[in-house]
Structure 1
Amino acid sequence: MKVLSSSLVSVKTIGMASLVVGCGFALAAEPEQCQKVTFSDPGWTDIGATNGIATTLLKAMGYDTQVYLLSVPVGFEGIKNGEIDAFMGNWMPAQSAFIDKYKDNIDVVRTNLEGVKFTLAVPKYVFDAGVKDFADLAAFSKEFRQRIYGIDAGAPANQKLQDMIDSNDFGLKDWKVVESGEQAMLSQVARTIKRDNFIVFLGWEPHPMNVNYDMKYLSGGDAYFGPNYGGATIRTLTRKGYLSECPNVGKLLGNLEFSLTMENEIIGSNETPEQAAASWIKAHPEVLKTWLQGVTTFNGTPALSVVKQHLSGL
């Protein structure tokens, strides 16, 4: 995974598809400029998992892939400028402001995951001590040191928390949002739990935190994170026009749908995202029939048998 620099690649130009002729019929190959597919990743393990699935399949199909580690705001700018082809981590409604801002620069491919949770969470022993709702936080200000641990700077969820503080909702006007990356936040959670101290942080599912920590989600945050503990969907986006420019990659992205169980299993692995994705697919080969329906390799041959053969060699 690379961090995208300020000198970014230009928008790909649209080319003519070549033809691959065999067995008495012709199959359209993807235009040459579509062979490299770029993805954005905010550094979240769940998006690492879905990117891992997509890149594993694309490489087996003869494509080159690159995943750039970008904050959400920078990632959307990359899509706008044509530097990023696809983003598989559009959490809704948390990223609604970005969708409104960049609506003319993106295409929504599909919802790739449902049943997601995204709201404030605490360790179970804190929950058992009486912190079960957003309204309970202020009574334990001293124990929490008036801090809420958020994710990377610029994330919409952090802004929601800051808006909550600025409005003095739940009596939290003197509290502070601690912005940091996902891993830094979780390291703080782990250290705090080890000492049996109080901490409140942004939690979500799918994520291995739900398995690694005995944690509980807080009720009462519907005005900021939505009902059902911030119940959300995750969508796949592409830059504007990409689906018509690179229809075969677009077909694959349109087929890719995931489940909470699948993602929890992949992100709970000790392997790299691509290794974990490949291992999961090999253990569940039945998903390929749906994911690769109507999809070809870069050269235009049916993808299913090629991908299966490629995975068997890993």
Structure 2
Amino acid sequence: MNTHQPRHAAGTTRGVLDRRLLMRGSVAAALAAGLGGVGVVAPAHAATHPLLRLGSRGTAVRELQRKLLDAGYEHMGVDGIYGPSTRGAVMALQRDHRLVVDGICGPNTWAVVDRLAGSGGGGGGETATESSGSHPLLRSGSRGSAVTRLQRTMRANGYWHTGNDGVYGHTTAQAVMAVQKVHGLARDGVCGPNTWAVIDRLNRPRGRTTSGTVMEVDLGRQVVIFVVSGRTRWVLNTSTGKSGWRTPRGRYRIFRQVNRMDYGPLGALWRPKYFNGGIAIHGSGSIPGYPASHGCARVSNAAMNYVWGSGLAPIGRRVWVY
């Protein structure tokens, strides 16, 4: 009895330990398999995508900064220092993609950054091989490499949308419509043969401003052009004043802004920036290919979020309506 009891106890202990280890291994495997896309980061991924926050430095910060610029989130530059400007760009991206807006680049934010940059490959323009590929009819809901090629070409030439993710969403359709307006095509937001022909030879459009920083509202082409230091930074699709409510031509400055939905007698304006009385550039859920507003310059809500986050239209910014 004295010799049997210790052996039995030891065997029981080893069995319990073995079962615990087996259970832990099974749980870990299940988590790795089932939750890998929801925040469980593999060691290799964690090594190249560390948690970044205000004050972080190094090559990972440079990678993040470069990809943010490629995705259209402006900051002071690729210097490897996670300063207030980089944090602001991260917060704008988080806001646009419905993440927790904390300014910290963790696994979920990295996943969006990599997706917008083209699966982590950075934001280069389309290659000759890509240009010679197929040109399928693309419209809202389309997905795939042809959509990514279209998106990359538009962003590289100043037509804003939320990123090169291969999904033909609302802002991609808006960018296509802006291209169509600038080049005198049918304004339907669908990329067919005529639009592809323009995309294949697309260039960055010029505004009328040759120096300085101005927000131009082109009434004839129904686009908003942000000119920075005399060069077109971004072009946005817009819808200005309809008949009886024409947007007045002239030179103005942004003098008031409301960082929320602003309700007025003529409707709701998302995050408006006013430049002429009650006339503003603001976000809207409806930006057709023709003038339809009560005098304002409508852009998509996502575009308006970007205008705020990037600092393109602060109080005092010059506005030229022509």
TM-score bin (small chain): under 0.3
Question: TM-score, normalised on structure 2?
Answer: 0.25
User: Where is the strand percentage greater, Structure 1 or Structure 2?
Assistant: 1
User: Where is the helix percentage greater, Structure 1 or Structure 2?
Assistant: 1
- RCO greater where, 1 or 2, for CA within 8 Å and sep 6 or more? 1
Q: Which has the larger radius of gyration?
A: 2
Question: TM-score, normalised on structure 1?
Answer: 0.26
